Amino acid sequence: MRMTPPAAFAVPSSAPLVWGVAALLHAVGDALAARFYACAVKGEISGFSRASSGHCYFSLKDAEGQAGLIRCAMFRRAASLLDFVPAEGQLVELRGRVAVYEPRGELQFVVESMQRGGAGALFEQFLRLKARLEAEGLFDASRKRALPRFARRVGVVTSLGAAALHDVATTFARRAPQVELIVYPSPVQGSEAPAALVEAIALAGRRAEVDLLIVCRGGGALEDLWAFNDERVVRAIAACPLPVLCGVGHETDVTLADFAADLRAPTPTAAAELAAPARLDCLASLQALADALHQGLRRGLDGRRQRIDHAALRLARPTELLRRQAQRLAMLQHRLGAAVHLTRLTHAQGQRQSASRLQRAAVVLIAQHGQRLAALAASLDALAPQRVLARGYAWLSDEQGGAVTSVAQVAPGQHIAATLADGQLRATVVAVDRTSPRKR
């Protein structure tokens, strides 16, 4: 498509066409907008970030591994319509338009919509290797070792030109200058990085001159950190005889080296902070312990001084002690005499009260027994035989004096005696009537 230059840049037809930078970029943008206003592209996400404004920025790599990278911008309106969270290495299909970012003269793809297209090649490789190593038990929590609390020497495996080394060294100089750092240099990116990292880790293990080993590098895209996903590096970290602290990338970056290490730090700076406590904090803790020890010692000494002073006072005036003891003995003697007298009075009063109660109880008891005897006598008098005879009854007896209680005991002509209330009769039985007594 032929573009007509603006009037400000119009030149005679015989002269060559000269563009201004802004005009050229604007013309290229118009051409791209006309040709690629609405298109779709598929690739792997790399370097995804979301700004505080809600806009998303990332790069899209060729899904087939070909050399190709295009910067992408997804503004807040389109990003709010996403139904998933984009991740590093994810294969996606974008719809939008190709444009030129004129302030920097960069080609970019303005994303209107994004759909998942499956995991990217690198990400799939990452997941497969992670699953295999995890099945071997290489990432088990039981294999993790505790970091030394107060390390004197710390080894650092990273590139000599990396910003991560500067961050680690600066952090140690600020927080724990007493800790000595030993660097085991190795490239951290590129095809030669995995073998070099393995050798550096093995060298640190063979020398055994440090208490802790930090493996670190700064952040980057998934392919930039791929050396730390290499199986050789992961196995070297797991086999290292030293405790290993891994601080690779930024907080959102995760590598297989993080799983194999004894502890993961989100950044190289955080790894340095975890490797050794701050010197000022240690000094403050020591000072607090020293103050507590000094105060305890001072309290103990003060208590013993007081005891010595009290003992000295008692030894310096024995006469005063004897006088106090005599006063105390006199007071106790007076209290003892008063207590004896009071006890006697109490006992005497108790005896008088007991005698009075005993006398009253005897009178009451005698009256009760007299009443009972009178009742018994009345009952006995009512049952006396003389009383029964006085009511018209007679007591019969035979010639031998035995009581006659049945007609079967006598016969006609037999002599019996009948005792009445006022005398006795002699009688002869004329007849015996054996008829049954009348029923009442």
pLDDT tens, position by position, 409-420: 888 888 888 888
- Model pLDDT, residue 6: 42
Alpha helices in 51-97 (DSSP H): 76-79
Q: Which CATH number is associated with domain 144-277?
A: 3.40.50.9100
Whether the per-residue pLDDT at 140 is higher than 90: the answer is yes
Whether the per-residue pLDDT at 216 is higher than 90: the answer is yes
CA dist 86 and 114 (Å) reads: 9
Whether the per-residue pLDDT at 174 is higher than 80: the answer is yes
The dihedral over CA atoms of 124, 128, 130, 132, expressed in degrees to the nearest 10, equals: 180
**Is the Cβ–Cβ distance between 155 and 184 less than 8 Å?**
yes
Mean pLDDT for the chain? 85
**Is the Cβ–Cβ distance between 105 and 27 less than 8 Å?**
no
* Amino acid identity, position 322: L
**Is the Cβ–Cβ distance between 211 and 230 less than 8 Å?**
no
CA dist 409 and 331 (Å) reads: 98
* Amino acid identity, position 201: I
User: How confident is the model over 180-199, as pLDDT tens digits?
Assistant: 999 999 999 888 999 999 99
Coil, strand, or helix at residue 150?
Answer: coil
- Dmax over CA atoms of the chain, in Å, equals 202
Once rounded to an integer, what is the mean pLDDT over residues 351-358? 89
Question: Which of 18-32, 157-171, 251-265, 346-360 bottoms out in mean pLDDT, i.e. has the lowest?
Answer: 18-32
Q: Which residue's entry shows tokens 């690629």?
A: 36
Share above pLDDT 70 across residues of the chain, in percent, rounded to a whole number: 93
Which carries the bigger pLDDT value, residue 384 or residue 53?
53
Which carries the bigger pLDDT value, residue 9 or residue 97?
97
User: How confident is the model over 237-265, as pLDDT tens digits?
Assistant: 999 999 999 999 888 888 999 999 999 99
Coil, strand, or helix at residue 32?
Answer: helix
Once rounded to an integer, what is the mean pLDDT over residues 412-434? 84
Coil, strand, or helix at residue 202?
Answer: helix
If one counts every other C-beta atom within 10 angstroms of the C-beta of residue 353, the result is 10
Share above pLDDT 90 across residues of the chain, in percent, rounded to a whole number: 35
Q: What is the DSSP letter of 367?
A: H
Structural Rg of the chain based on CA atoms: 62
Q: Which CATH class is domain 36-119?
A: mainly beta
CA 389 vs CA 379, 384, 426: distances in Å = 17, 9, 17
**Fold agreement between 36-119 and 144-277:** no
Which carries the bigger pLDDT value, residue 163 or residue 120?
163
Once rounded to an integer, what is the mean pLDDT over residues 426-434? 84
**Two tokens at 245?**
């602290």
**Two tokens at 213?**
């080993």
CA 414 vs CA 395, 396, 410: distances in Å = 16, 12, 7
Beta bridge partners of 245: 214, 263
Question: Which of 11-15, 75-79, 162-166 bottoms out in mean pLDDT, i.e. has the lowest?
Answer: 11-15
User: How confident is the model over 74-129, as pLDDT tens digits?
Assistant: 999 999 988 888 888 788 889 999 988 888 888 899 999 998 875 456 777 888 89
Q: Which of 219, 200, 218, 109 is nearest to 157 (CA)?
A: 200
**Two tokens at 210?**
């440090």
The domains of the chain are located at 36-119, 144-277, 280-314, 389-428
